[in-house]
Amino acid sequence: MQSLGLLIMIAVVAFSCNRPAASSGAATPQTQDKQTIPSFGYYLNNKRDTIRFIQKTEVEWKTQLSPQEYYVLREKGTERAFTGDLTDLKKDGLYTCRGCGLPLFHSKHKYNSGSGWPSFFDVFDKTSIATDTDYDLGYARTELTCARCGGHLGHVFDDGPQPTGLRYCINSVSLDFIEEKN
């Protein structure tokens, strides 16, 4: 009986150690939904904030995302070329993950690749993007996912402009945009 009590106590302590720290009252991107995305300045001042992985059930994701957003972000789908609302956007600002609000790309790194999807030659912060190898088309491609929520963003190719030579080809539906106010 004592060993059962000891096991329960260890489980409680282990569980509490894995929970995020209590909030200091300041809103952080982890606690924001897409309707209350923090300001552009927040991201510039907190660029290297710790990334804690968000886990949600499929029901929670389906409640938060539209069917198209769910298809792309959670099922690794792709929107049709030239249909995204951010493909031709030329405003200054920050592109964030539609699933969790994590900053991913800055408009100063965006360019017109002619591919039909928003394209960037660099990321906002290298820790914001995770990569994996995708063989869905029968050959290896580098898949990009959000480091915080695991949402599928698109792929990266080595045919982009200098200085990186990379083309981050991203689904518009995977992104939100925060305009930079001068």
The DSSP bridge partners found for residue 106 are 94
Sequence-ordered strand ranges (E) for 87-128: 93-97, 103-106, 110-111, 119-120
Residue in 97, 100, 146, 169 annotated catalytic:
169
- Catalytic, 97? Answer no
Alpha helices, DSSP H, located in the chain: 2-18, 40-45, 58-64, 67-73
- What region, left, alpha or beta, does residue 114 occupy, with left being phi > 0 and alpha being psi -120 to 50 degrees? left
Half-sphere exposure of 11 (CA within 13 A, CB side): 6
The catalytic residue positions are: 169
